[in-house]
Structures are given as C-alpha cells and as structure tokens.
Structure 1
C-alpha cells in the first residue's frame, strides 16, 4: 500500500525515486519517518528519530539503509534505523528494530551515541591518513 499523498515528500537517491512522510500511522506515536519506493510496494524504511528529521537527512538515511540490507522493492517487514541529530549525516544513523524502545527513550542511548561518534571519528581519521 502506498504512502498517503497528504504531506508526502519525494526524494531521488541512486536514480530511484522514493516517497516519505513524517509520523505515519503504525509508528505507535514514535514520530517515525516512513520511506517507500515510489512504486508504492515493497518494504518500508522506518527512521526512528532523536531530533527533527528534515529533508536533507532523508537521502543519507536511504543510502545508509540500502548499504545495510534494505531492499525497497522486495516485500517484507519494515527496515528500522535510528537517527540522531548529534552528528552530521551520514554518521548519524544506526540499525534498530521495531521492538527496540524509541531511540530517545532507549536506556542505552548515550552508549549508542558514543559508539556512533567513535565510528565516525575513526572513519575521518582513516580518510585523513589516506590523503596524507
């Protein structure tokens, strides 16, 4: 079933068009953003936010999900990731599950964010070493 047209936005990533909405039904009041291939079929991407999801973040979220196993054209369970505004994309995403508590209420949030930051800084350092 396709996403509702009301408040639906469109974004293009890797030559494919996707639709996304904030706070769609079925997110149990979590404020999740839902992304779906524009064909209106296939598994949805659910972005569980800690902070506000803006248009500029969504392409990075789609890239992250595609790189971590989301196949938007195959039907199946929604693919969950979390977003934290503490870091700039693409380092601000992690894999989540539907059964995990909302990211902002997760008792491990500080630890998860620290892991995200550490991973991001390691990546930056390795890139800097390649340049030198």
Structure 2
C-alpha cells in the first residue's frame, strides 16, 4: 500500500539512485568521445545530468523531511518529482545521444516537475 512511510522511504532510495546514476552520467558526459553524442549532445547531456542530480538530492531531502504525516498534496508532489525527473532526463539523454527531438517525454516530464513542485508548495502552505 502507498502509505506515507513507504513513499518517503522510496523517495530516499530513488533519490540516492538518481544521484548515483547522475554521477555516472557526469563521468560519461565528461569522458566519452564526441562521436558518442549527437551534435551539441555533450552540453545537452550535461544539462540532464545536472537536473537529475538536483532532483535526486531534493527527493532525498523530501524523504527525510516529511517525518510527520504528509498530506495528499505532499505525497502526490513527491511522487510527481520522481516520475517527472525520470521522464525529463530520459527524454533529454535520448536527444543528447541520438539527436532526435521528436519525443514528448522531456516536455511532459518537465511539466510534471513544475506541477509537482507547485503541489508541494501548496501542500506545505496548507500544513501551516
């Protein structure tokens, strides 16, 4: 069942995994030969890696900071941050390595991230 303690633990675990894989992507972005990237792809991959790292750290903080019973907006917001990060970064990495811009995954993930952070803000305002 998707309870607060389960979700906050999941966010900590997934946040740590995002940071770990973001570190790997940072190393690949720095050291892979240019032939592995589409034109301008190295900079695009670096942007995705930075977003992944920030959102991963934020998920760890969310998981650690919501020790009291979180309301539904906070739970939805945290889940949205996780899903939005995965979608956004996957779409941007795909563009960086293949050069294909046809995917709607990155914009959908980015929109979900924005909506999730707004839900978190509203959830925290309601708590006060």
- What TM-score does the superposition give when structure 1 sets the normalisation length? 0.34
Q: Which structure: larger Rg?
A: 2
Task: Report the structure, 1 or 2, having the larger helix content.
Answer: 2
TM-score by length of 2: 0.35
The higher relative CO (CA closer than 8 Å, separation ≥ 6) is in 2
